[in-house]
């Protein structure tokens, strides 16, 4: 939003138009700073104010339990982590970090985009949306490339698949996501909109910055990584077909897991980017009209939920397709149960010994009392 832009105009349904200020972070719907368009009243926003926060809480619950379990399994496993597992661990950390911000967005939307948490948290949680999105796609890309060399080019670039190389790649990804998210940390902030009597958490960059951010987000944050992942997946599938009997079973499982994760990412985020493109066309005034504008803005709000759901889907994919993950999780669970049982038995043993000592003491005390009473009687 350009700080010199004219005052927002109210729409009939009492929302805000996203076309001038929105990105992939939740933002006010139906705030326009560049047009004077009044649209007919619509009831879809009342449903969105209920559906979206509820979906965020569901994603939060599934994402915290799922990603935390993945982190624990990968950190507590007895064997050393492979390069692919290092990428999966960092992907789970990025997803867990992101889903923990969803309660703030849920409260914001429930309050009809009246942000109650202050300017600092507005910038931080807005930036974390981008950190997660860039991190997810780049960690998936790293996994795809690692699988490509493991299956399609097993004899080349072996050193690049080492654990130390994977750690360096992860550090590079985290650094890149932090740099790419800097504009969001800088330009997103709270603005009081007196016409609506709310304090909105919105992107305050001018039109040029918003356009550049949109282009970079779609190219560097989606299209190029997706192209690399599709290239790797295609060659991996072809190689598996040619050498199905020769490929090790573990390699097949990890490769299938990677392909499903890439497909899930594409299904979750492709509709979001398509509707953001349509939203960009609204901003450039290529698309106009109340019906089209409202349908696109509502689509952005709903499909963003689908994109966010990708953060809780990966652990479910591990459970259903990752045989090694299930085996390690069951081993860790058995170790935990064994530890709890041994601790319980130790406590019971200590309690039993304590009760025995108490009983002996009480018996001794009773005998001593009896002796004293008999001596007194004799006197």
**Quick one: DSSP state of residue 79?**
S
**Spatial distance between the Cα atoms of 188 and 122, rounded to a whole number of angstroms:** 7
Q: How confident is the model at residue 120 (pLDDT cuts 50, 70, 90)?
A: very high
Q: What is the mean pLDDT of residues 6-34?
A: 42
**Dist. CA 368–CA 351, nearest whole Å:** 25
- What are all long-range contacts of 14-18, with beta carbons under 8 Å and residues at least 24 apart? 14/45, 14/112, 14/196, 15/45, 15/112, 15/113, 16/113, 16/193, 16/196, 16/200, 17/293, 17/297, 18/279, 18/297, 18/300, 18/301
pLDDT in tens, 210-254: 778 888 888 888 899 989 998 988 888 887 777 655 556 666 777
Query: Average pLDDT of 205-214?
Result: 79
For the whole model, what pTM was predicted?
A: 0.77
Residue 39: strand, helix, or coil: coil
Cβ-Cβ contacts under 8 Å for 5 (sequence gap 6 or more): 20, 33, 34
């Amino acid at each position: 939003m350009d700080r010199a832009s004219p005052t927002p105009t109210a729409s009939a349904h009492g929302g805000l138009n996203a076309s001038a200020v929105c990105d992939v972070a939740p933002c006010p719907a139906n705030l326009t700073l560049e047009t004077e368009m009044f649209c007919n009243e619509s009831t879809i926003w009342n449903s969105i104010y209920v559906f979206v926060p509820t979906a965020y809480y569901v994603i939060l619950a599934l994402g915290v339990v799922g990603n935390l379990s993945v982190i624990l399994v990968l950190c507590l496993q007895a064997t050393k982590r492979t390069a692919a597992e290092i990428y999966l661990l960092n992907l789970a950390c990025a997803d867990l970090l992101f889903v923990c911000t969803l309660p703030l967005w849920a409260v914001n939307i429930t309050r009809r985009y009246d942000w109650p948490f202050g300017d600092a948290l507005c910038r931080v949680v807005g930036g974390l949306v981008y950190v997660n999105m860039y991190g997810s796609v780049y960690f998936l890309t790293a996994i795809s490339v690692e699988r490509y060399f493991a299956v399609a080019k097993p004899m080349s670039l072996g050193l690049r698949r080492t654990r130390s190389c994977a750690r360096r790649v992860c550090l590079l990804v985290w650094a890149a996501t932090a740099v790419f998210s800097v504009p969001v940390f800088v330009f997103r902030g709270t603005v009081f909109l007196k016409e609506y009597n709310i304090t909105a958490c919105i992107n305050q960059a001018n039109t040029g910055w918003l356009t550049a951010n949109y282009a970079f987000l779609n190219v560097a944050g989606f299209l190029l990584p997706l192209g690399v992942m599709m290239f790797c997946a295609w060659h991996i599938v072809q190689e598996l077909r040619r050498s199905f009997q020769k490929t090790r079973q573990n390699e097949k499982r990890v490769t299938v897991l990677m392909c499903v994760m890439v497909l899930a990412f594409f299904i979750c985020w492709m509709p979001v980017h398509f509707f953001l493109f349509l939203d960009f066309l609204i901003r450039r005034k290529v698309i106009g009209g109340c019906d089209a504008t409202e349908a696109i803005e509502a689509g952005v709000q709903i499909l963003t939920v689908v994109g966010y759901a990708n953060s809780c889907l990966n652990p479910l994919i591990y459970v259903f397709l990752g045989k090694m993950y299930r085996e390690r999780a069951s081993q860790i669970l058995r170790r935990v149960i064994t530890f709890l049982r041994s601790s319980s038995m130790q406590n019971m043993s200590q309690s039993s010994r304590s009760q025995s000592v108490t009983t002996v003491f009480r018996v001794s005390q009773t005998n001593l009392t009896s002796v004293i009473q008999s001596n007194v009687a004799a006197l």
